[in-house]
Amino acid sequence: MVQETFKIQGMTCSSCAATIEKNVQKLAGIDIATVNYATEILTINYDENKSNLSDIVENVTKSGYSAKKIGYEAMAVSSEEIADYDKQQRLFEIKNLWYKLLLSGIFTLPLLYIAMGHLLGLPLPNILEPGQNPLNFGLIQLILMIPIIIAGNKFYSIGFSSLFGGHPNMDSLIAIGTTSAILYGIYGIFQIQTGNIAYTGDLYFETAGVIITLILLGKYLEKKAKGKTSEAIKKLIGLQPKTATVIHGGEEIVIPIEEIEVGDIIHVKPGEKIPIDGQIISGSTSIDESMITGESIPVEKIPGDKIIGASINKYGSIKYKATDVGKDTVLAQIIKLVEDAQGSKAPIARMADTISGFFVPIVIGIAILSGIIWSITGASPVFSLTTFIAVLVIACPCALGLATPTAIMVGTGKGAELGILIKGGQPLETAHKIHTIVFDKTGTITEGKPIVTNILTEGTITKEKLLMLAASIEKSSEHSLGEAIVREAKQTGLPFIKLEEFQAIPGKGIEGKIEGQHILLGNKILMENRNIDIILQKDSDHMASEGKTPMYIAIEGEMAGIIAVADTVKKGSSKAIQKLHELGIKVAMITGDNQATAKAIASEVQIDIVLAEVLPGEKAREIAKLQKGGEIVAMVGDGINDAPALAQADVGIAIGSGTDVAIESADIVLMKSDLQDVVTAIKLSKSTIRNIKQNLFWAFAYNALGIPIAAGLLFIFGGPRLNPMIAAAAMSLSSVSVLMNALRLKRFKITNKISLRSNVL
């Protein structure tokens, strides 16, 4: 089986996605076909011996939509241009919808005034008065209706296409209902022209106009809410440098990275990005891999070590051999993981498919059946047609269509007001069901920047003197641990002493001479190699068990002390995790750091599950494992290495201070970088879902009561028949009630904030 992804254009509702899925799955050799309506991506698994790409594209086209193959392998050199094109295409669609909404609204307002105003006592010019000039009264409404039909032309093209294709959707209902109202209105004008002016009260152009305008408004808001699926991919690709310095025939030449081949020798200078994955053959350095692995501390590299493309070479000059190029690099695999996760379909989307799949055909059937039954029982053709239109109009899914998006719109707006950016309805719908939240460690639970935590001395030297000597020698180093020591000395106000000699010892530490004294600073291996007795071994082991990195300092061959450096826990992390536990949510921590460091941090903040030494691709797989167990999983992270896991999770939550890629890949962004906002986001989700359920209940209850009345149930028992105009008014009223209920979400307040004064770290 082969997996492929396609970008779909032309969908207007979740029922469109269901139509494409059903039609594609009819092809030979198709195992799975899933359409994600939010990202407009079709993912298929198929047997290439039984079907080919052209068959799939042709099938989608026959369904009334368009399909274009996508994927990282197809992007290559023009990947950024493709991402730009997708963004521009989305902006074009939003702008196009806005113009259609504007056009429809401009003509609907006067149409509504002319049709309904005189009933409310509002003045009309004599030339349009239904009593004096009934034909003009009808014709002007028809003329005003024409631009509205043009604005909503897509409802008709897709609605009737889906209807005749055997998969009616919401557009089909809109198309049938408004077309029936328009045709009946034209019939009414014909009756008026023959002298039957009673039909001035039975022109339903304004009903069709209002329906089209309201639905266009919903589509516009929906399109605006959709996430920018191309942005994360574009930023990931942008991490990779455009060129590389390759050694050919003894000469260094600069070539585009697309031209690099496996086995090429590449020269990288200090401060440059690593162009492609490879293995060092000469030189040593320290490489910042935080954007890929999540490690906050740069990793020492010597000949034979592997290095990752897009990571940053800190200070050494190295030459290395390219081992992986194109789609085989770590970065390319991360891009593919994000792409696959974003293209997958959320389980909650099935609900909309099911509702539209049953609701629309049933309503159409009831409308046709009611018209036929009344005709058979001797009612006039006009009465039967009116009943048919009334059923379609009152059942037209305005309230049903507004029930979810209005609540989501208000909910996401309230979230933004609280500094929580929620990207559309899907994450807001899913967040209330979360079973497990997985936190990245570095930069999420912790500060992401190492600081000095302990200073231990041996003999007569003071802590200030030890720190001053260590900072003076580390000032010539570019190692992040050294930077933490230098930063601590500056904050303490200590002076720096002139360095007489300096030498870096790759992977071990540094040495130099200050005031005539030989200073050695580094790890345990360095001390053992120089035969220095580690007197403070017990203390250093204890600090290591707490997740700290001990750095030993020796003066003139004698141990002088230890300076420990660590990435500390953020204020508020512990309280946020405590609140999540109170909500019945399990908390896990995932990191590329070692087991000792991870367990120390987990113990401090009461983490339930610890996943340490996990690589980028494995992070997404760990999330997938939890999901396979039936759990709804959220991921909270801030780094590029978190992007695949953020996209794979049911809800991806990014810290606002994190990288752009993490933010673009996530469903929810915490702009204040406060983990307690995770709790707020979940509570907001619960309130919004409760509101949506209320809206859906009233929308369905309205249809359950309205459809039988429209079909003539009351008339059977001597009551009135439901005029389509009254049906339209009832439909509008139901929409207003749903909207007013959604606006109650504006009263949502934060109740989980806790004082941090007692949280001493």
By annotation, the residues acting in catalysis are: 440
Residues 6+ apart with CB under 8 A from 573: 445, 446, 605, 675
- 3-class SS of residue 396: coil
SS3 track for 155-205: HHHHHHHHHHCCCCCHHHHHHHHHHHHHHHHHHHHHHHHCCCHHHHHCCCH
Is the torsion defined by CA of 674, 675, 681, 683 positive or negative? negative
Cβ pair 608, 586 in contact under 8 A: yes
Cβ pair 471, 485 in contact under 8 A: yes
Distance of CA 694 to the CA centre of its chain: 26
Structure tokens belonging to residue 590: 């995932």
- 3-class SS of residue 758: coil
Is the torsion defined by CA of 530, 536, 538, 544 positive or negative? negative
- CA 678, CA 752: separation in Å to the nearest integer? 10
E-assigned strand segments in 236-348: 243-248, 251-256, 265-268, 277-282, 285-288, 299-301, 306-307, 312-313, 318-324
Compute the CA torsion angle 527, 530, 535, 537 (nearest 10 deg).
30
Cβ neighbours, 10 Å, residue 422: 27
Give 72's Cβ-side CA count (13 Å radius): 22
DSSP class of residue 269 equals: -
Cβ pair 521, 511 in contact under 8 A: yes
Structure tokens belonging to residue 240: 């990779």
